[in-house]
A and B are shown apart, each in its own frame.
Chain A
Amino acid sequence: MKKVKSSRVSRSRLPYLLALPIIALSFFLVLYPIIQGIYISLTDKTLGAATGKKVSFVGLRNYNELLHSSAFLNSLRLTVIYAIMNVIFSVGAGLITALTVNKKFRGRGGVRALLTAPWAFPDIASVIIFIWILNSAFGVIGIINVHLPFDTSGGWLTSSPYAFISVVGISMWKTFPFYSIVILSALQGVPEDLLEAATVDGAGPIQRFRTVILPSIRPTVLLLSLLAFIFAFRQFSMIYLTTGGGPERDTETLVLMVYNTAFKYFDYAFSSAIGVAGLIVTVAVASTYLLLTGRSEKGAR
């Protein structure tokens, strides 16, 4: 009797105990730093040399400054454009690749394995490769440069707008092959008989795509678009080590601005305010995600 009771008590506590290690770790390394960041954003704290300076509370001054900072607004705009380009080009190329590879042909398995490679390749190694390929004096890109109708002699990573195009291109290289694999696995769920019926009814490839294929892979494509957005929004080292945010501040996305403001300009408080703005974007994206997946799960049922 006693034994049954004690086991019931432990049963109700057990799920909390199981989740506790993660909750504790998240509190220590995610939530507490966020609270810290919000607090700092309300002060005038700096990093580095001026440590003796007294830190004082300044209310919303940093946020007021933020809304009037052309660097911040520019960075926000860049981040959005960068993310949207990632969505359009990476998911778009992934979709086209998946549709092509979906038919049976010789070497398909090898092609699929190959498509995982760039995603698994670490950022720093990719950075080294692309800095070398795009090198303005000795890079292999030189072969192409001479045939281009525009002047890239300022360097692919050091002049505008090529630096921006390059960082979009590098992240596209990294992501689209993997997205194509994800879409490919969703394509396996397209009902074969419906496709055949559509063919018999005389539907062309475009019509078949619109009426049969697209409806069944739409949740996956939507989700991937959101993930591509997040990937771009989070992307730090690949941009930081290729362009550093330059030339001028033409590739300085939000995460780079947070880092540069703190470690280059030592303005910890202002950097924190930018960080808080980024967190608001994150919450918005995570909520959108829940909305999307909730709906697609309901749709599946």
Chain B
Amino acid sequence: MAVVRGSRKKVFVMNSARYIFVGIICTLVIFPLYWMVVTAIQPPNVTLQYPPVLYPVHPNLLGFKQLFHGNPMGRWLLNSGFVASITTIITVSFSILGAYSISYFKWRGRAAFAFLLLFTQMMPEALIVIPIFKIYDRLHLLNQLPALSLIHAAFVIPVGVWILRPAFESIPKEVNEAASIDGCTDMAILRKIVLPLTSPAIIAVGVVSFFASWGDYLMAVTMISKKELYPASVGLASTMSQLDTPIQTLLSGALLYGLPPVILYMFIQRFVISGLTAGAIKG
């Protein structure tokens, strides 16, 4: 009896410790985001008080209003959406073809192709941003949004292929063989069998590529110098360096720009894991 009571007490202590630990972790993760929301919805004079008040006082939406008033923020968000859409179209179509090639066919050079993808995924873009800048300068592709999409696509395609590959390989061989005997060509198999069966993974590639492009700063700031063509990342960064931007406006911008990927990523979590780990963890 005493033993049981002792172990029950121990379990209670362990459980409480777990809740406390999880609570601390959640606070650490969520506090910066919470603080962004608080700052975005309260007037600057409250924000600049010391000591800071940890909950919103006089909440209002003036920050968002100013964002669209003084700065072409709406335009910048639209630019980002445009660049990201084109990136998504390129990435999804190229990744489907590449993943089909790598998961259905044995061909010479396949290993080299896989290494090229891996290398592209791992290489810091910053190492070659200047040669790309020079090439774009020569070809008059600077300040062209679709040309920026092309760069984004080049660097996110490996992730797309790694997300699609295990999904493609999970379709039983018998299904494809049966289709092949029935006279389906390889492209028809891709279109009629593989794509419909793997649509969740394809949607995941779409989301990942859209927000990879949406989140990029380095390529955009190097290739785009006209203010009206800025994507939101570059626009926000330029607002940040202007000393007279009210803090409420700035944080409203961060909120508006940062929230969409957070919401959508929650739905495609497991695909991101497989793309990130290059489909390598099978055991």
Contact = CB atoms under 8 A, between A and B. Distances in A.
Interface of A: 7, 11-12, 14-16, 18-19, 21-23, 25-26, 28-30, 32-34, 36-37, 40, 47, 97, 100-101, 103, 105, 111-133, 138, 140, 142-143, 173, 177, 181-182, 185-186, 189, 219-220, 223-224, 227, 230, 233-234, 236-237, 240-241, 254-256, 258-259, 262-263, 268, 271-272, 275, 278-279, 282-283, 285-286, 289-290, 293, 296-297, 299-301
Interface residues of B, number: 98
Contacts of B257: 122, 124-125
Nearest to A235: B124
A182 B273 contact: yes
A contacts with B: majority SS: helix
B277 A21 contact: no
A15 B282 contact: no
B97 A19 contact: yes
Given A116-B266, A272-B130, A122 B186 contact: no
Contacts of A220: 277, 281
Given A22-B97, A143-B51, A129 B280 contact: no
Contacts of B126: 234, 236, 255-256, 258-259
A140 B36 CA distance: 11
Contact of B94 (A7, A25, A272): A25
A117 B33 contact: yes
7 contacts: A36-B131, A40-B131, A101-B22, A120-B262, A140-B52, A182-B277, A293-B281
Interface string B119-142: 110111111111110110000000
A55 B270 CA distance: 51
Contacts of B116: 23, 26, 30
B122 A15 contact: no
B179 interface: no
A72 to B, nearest CB: 14
Contacts of B128: 30, 33-34, 37, 275
Nearest to B185: A7
B123 A30 contact: yes
